[in-house]
Structure 1
Amino acid sequence: MKKKRAALVAASVVVALATTACETPSGSDTETGADTSAFNAAASGTLNAWAFDNADDVGQARLDYAAGKLSGVDIKLDATGFDAQKFTTRLASGDVPDIVQMDRAFVGTYAAQGLLMPLDKCFSANDVDPQTRWYSSVVDDVTYKNQIWAVPQFYQPPAIILNQKVMKAAGVTEADIDTSNPDKLIAAIGKMYQANGGVPVTLGFDPQATGQIYMWTLGLGGKLTDADGKPTLDDPSNVYGLELLKRITDAQGGYAKYKSFTDSFDFFGEQNQFVKDQVGAQLDAQWYPNVLSPYAGKLQLGAVPFKDRDGKPVTVAGGTSFAIPVKAKNPAAACKWALALTEQGAWDAAGEARAKTLAKDDSINTGLFTGSPKADQELREKYVKPSGNAGFDEVINTYYEVAASGRSVGASPAGQQLKQELTNAITATLLGQKSAQDALADAQNASLSAYQTVTGG
């Protein structure tokens, strides 16, 4: 079924490409045929947006704010989740939305296929400096061939959350949870790890082996793409992270037992792995403290950054974005809407809405990580106050501290395929089916094939 679905998507892309390459209007981008001069126009008419699937309080506040900024525009919203096959099918049929919200990993693929408008003129026409509005790593996520192809939003940097109760019982300190010092880390894991009949009961450290794959490659000095977005999964620098991951899972019963145990976690529930002391430490994205917030009184938490091989804090950028298809009928309104949704006023409205929601629930405000350093800082100063729980406050502070050290995979024409093949390589390595080097070589062959299919060579 997966192969059949992939074939259908590929066929749709070919048809879409044929329909988008018919003519090149004056004032257009020479590579894509997109009429980028339209970004200079005033926003008016109808805007057909495909975005904001099941918008929460933050999303609705931003939507309301942007609607006020584009008061002369009739905004029609398809509030369903992005689907790659649906997207290319819509383009092929001529049912082209003016703007689409998608994971940033898709942007390089569609940019390389000529399906998106480059947005440099969108920014310049509206006096927006991308390098000032967003973290540089966030901009790098949507930059391909020296052009920016989407308006980014959100940034969920990973860091390591600590269960101080499990650590103290095992005689482990925060300094021992150090990804730049594998021997010290493995020793700490061994002290905290517990099993019953060979079955894990408590993990010393859950590395989120296939959930945080970029941290274990880029974060440890790896290289996944070159300057053109071409996959480099077989680069020797990527071997180190996979081999360290194998040491970590082998120290905790092996990957099969580790995976079975972590699959049993009540990850979003009141019996989650921190409440039940099933982990001593875990690598988590910034949104996860929100899940733990209702149980803060039951927990003894802390946090440390993930460190690179030189001992410096590091994290990885990731999030969603707004892209404008080449055949969009109202690119001017699309551009202004996306920029309105990601400007300071929109985030102020979102911060206020989230603060009100949290106040009703008597929950801890962990902040909003918008993708914009200025917005992040202003919202932090206004809404993120000491909670009375020193450990939880340490968790919040750690995420703010690591945000500036983000790295980007980069926009690649093989973005989604690269991610899947890297996941396959990690799984094969951890199961002992292949050496890290062989697994990465196989992943490179598959992702390079996808790259060549998209780029034509």
Structure 2
Amino acid sequence: MERRRAAIVAAGVAIALGLAAAGCESGSGDEGGGSDAVSFDANVSGALSAWAFDNADDVGQARIDYAAQQLQGVSIKMDQTGFDAQKFTARLAGGDVPDVVQMDREYVPTYAAQGLILPLEKCFTAHNVDPKQRWYPNVVGDVTYKSQVWAVPQFYQPPAIILNTTVMDAAGVKPEDIDTSKPDVLLAAVQKMYKASGGVPAVLGFNPQATGQTYLWFISQGGKLVGDSGAPTLDDPSNVYPLELLKRIVDAQGGFAKYKSFTDAFDTFGDNNQFVKNQVGAEVDAQWYPNVLSPYKDKIKIGAVPFKGKDGQPVTVAYGGSFVIPAKAKNLSAACKWVLALTDDGSWDAAATARAATIAKEKSINTGLFTGSPGPDKAIRDKYVKPSGNAGFDQVISTYYDVVATGKSAGASPAGQQLKQELTNAITAALLGQKPPQKALADAQTATMNAYRSIAGS
């Protein structure tokens, strides 16, 4: 069971495929010239090397097998190690250049700004793919830098709020009280459910995932983290309100230090998870978490509501995985066709079929696959997501499907990784009371801008 839960989470963060590193010359593409000289041919041959994917699960293997069938005559070599930023730049500098690399979408604009990966408009044109039609707008936004798309995205698992109705019912709290667009209503509900023992939290009314869903809190509440040019905007005045709201929520539950210590001790993936133990009344969770909870469906009572923005409308924000083609890749045409095959409707149908077989064997609940593409998401839901007999779980699953189209991109910045770290530092400092929100955000902006200038120039 533990291995299965780990596989579920790994699949949710980035698909576990397994790809390799030994580029071989092919008839298409150039030897790493500028993007203007790059061409992609729909007819492919030769050898393809790819890297930065962990071992395949059922979903990943089905997609690998499907994509290989679409590239008859191409020899595909796979390296099953995970992505490492230092290793990536070292490999490129040493001439050991894979044709395809998988990485989190937050990395993409960094390497785009450095000229280490290729824009993919010509790849899309060669195969009649319209990014605006294949993927959700926010998913494309994650990999768009200076008006060009630099990666083929995959997966978008939106966050929503899972309700522990056992705790809520005992406190007299209703689902409509868990409303992130109405702070006073939300805080009143939190205070009804919150319990302490010996001065430390015993039950959280609401776990906001303060340092785990940072983009969601800021973008949904009117904040702005990245400017149109990709420059960080952490010190934008609009970012103060989300941080102040987070502080109100954690202060109402013992303060950040005690809150963090309590949540860090959760058995999140185990038999004594926070829903089984009734340690939370409500919690922000990504779409993959109901899979973790499904083995306990007879022990817990859950529901879900959308996470709402400051305007009262449902909203989601989350990154995911992607495929990039390095600028000096040798078999560009095969790389292009392969990554598009891994994300087309047939690939996702094969993946969903494999996952359905696994779920049937384990007698679990099919919560669907959230691919990053609206077409496959709907097709998989219609074909495989059926009433489970558990009304609470079914309502949770439906909520995630309802909100997936409400996604917003936090923006694409060459300093994306530094931005995430510095924003987390700012949140921590402000919630601990070490710095006022404005000061914490200003310091984070200074550090992130230094990183931005070193990558993208002034």
TM-score bracket, shorter-length normalisation: over 0.9
Question: What are the equivalent positions in structure 2 for 1:42-441 lying under 5 Å apart?
Answer: 42-441=43-442
Distance 2:29 2:250 in 1: 56
Distance 1:36 1:161 in 2: 50
Secondary structure at 2:284 match in 1 = strand
- Aligned residue identity for 1:382: K
Give 1:29 deviation, angstroms: 13
- Contact 1:205 1:279 (8 Å CA) reproduced: yes
Paired residue type of 1:62 = R
The one-letter amino acid paired with 1:146 is S
* SS of alignment partner, residue 161 of structure 1: strand
Q: Deviation per CA, 1:164-219, whole angstroms, max 9, x where unpaired?
A: 00000000000100000000101100000001011111000000000000111011
Q: How many residue pairs align between the two structures? A: 431
Structure-1 separation of matches of 2:113 and 2:447: 18
* Deviations 1:230-273 (CA, angstroms, capped at 9, x unpaired): 00000111111110000000000000000000011000011100
Describe the SS at the equivalent of 1:214.
helix
Amino acid at match of 1:181: K
- Distance of 2:56 and 2:286 partners within structure 1: 20
Return the TM-score normalized by structure 1. Answer: 0.93
Give CA deviations for 1:1-36 in whole Å, capped at 9, x if unaligned: xxxxxxxxxxxxxxxxxxxxxxxxx99899x71365
Residue-by-residue CA offset, 1:288-327 (whole Å, 9 max, x unaligned) = 0000011011111000011011110000131010000000
Distance 1:363 1:63, change over 3 A: same
Q: Which amino acid aligns with 1:219?
A: S
Question: Structure 1: how far apart are the matches of 2:313 and 2:30?
Answer: 44
SS at match of 1:111: helix
What displacement does 1:43 show?
1.4
Superposed CA RMSD: 1.5
**2 CA distance for matches of 1:369 and 1:293?**
17
Query: Would the alpha carbon gap of residues 229 and 439 (structure 1) be closer, same or farther in structure 2, given more than 3 Å must change?
Result: same
Structure 2 residue matching 1:297: 3-state secondary structure: coil
The SS at the match of 2:103 is strand
- Does the CA-based 8 Å contact 1:193-1:203 persist in structure 2? yes
Instruction: Sort the Cα spacing of 1:226 and 1:232 in 2 relative to 1 into closer, same or farther, 3 A.
Output: same
Deviation at 1:438, TM superposition (A): 0.7
Query: C-alpha displacement at 1:71, in angstroms?
Result: 1.3
Provide TM-score, normalisation by structure 2.
0.92
| C-alpha separation in 2, matches of 1:247 and 1:27 | 55
- Which residue type is aligned with residue 300 of structure 1? K
Offset at residue 412 of structure 1 (A): 0.8
Paired letter, 1:109: T
Match of 1:9 in 2: none
* 8 Å Cα contact 2:162-2:303 kept in structure 1: yes
4+ long deviations beyond 4 Å: 26-30
Shift of residue 125, structure 1, vs aligned partner: 0.6
Give the secondary-structure state (helix, strand or coil) at the position aligned to 1:87: helix
Instruction: Tell me, yes or no, if the aligned pair for 1:36 and 1:121 is still in contact at 8 Å.
Output: no
Name the SS of the counterpart of 1:234 in structure 2: coil
Partner of 1:15: none
Q: Is the 8 A contact 2:31 2:330 kept in 1?
A: no
C-alpha contact (below 8 Å) 1:141/1:317 kept by paired residues: no
Indicate if the aligned counterparts of 2:215 and 2:318 stay in contact, CA closer than 8 A.
Answer: no
Deviations 1:76-121 (A, max 9, x none): 0111110000000000000000010000000000000000000000
Q: SS at 1:393's partner residue?
A: helix
Partner-residue secondary structure (3-state), 2:278: coil
Of residues 136-145 and 35-44 in structure 1, the stretch that sits farther from structure 2 once superposed is: 35-44
- SS for the counterpart of 1:328 is coil
Percent identity of equivalent pairs = 71
Contact 1:182-1:244 within 8 A present in 2 as well: yes
Aligned-partner Cα distance in 2 for 1:28–1:105: 27
- Residues in 1 aligned to 2:195 and 2:267: alpha-carbon distance in whole angstroms: 19
Q: Is the 8 A contact 1:29 1:36 kept in 2?
A: no
> Match of 2:126, as an amino acid?
A
Counterparts in 2 of 1:29 and 1:124: CA distance versus 1, 3 Å = farther
Deviations 1:62-86 (A, max 9, x none): 0000001001100001111100000
* Consecutive unaligned residues in structure 1, runs of 5 or more: 1-25
The 8 Å contact of residues 27 and 35 in structure 1, kept in 2 or not, is answered as no
Q: C-alpha separation between the residues in 2 aligned to 1:95 and 1:188? A: 56
TM-aligned CA distance change 1:81 to 1:102, over 3 Å: same
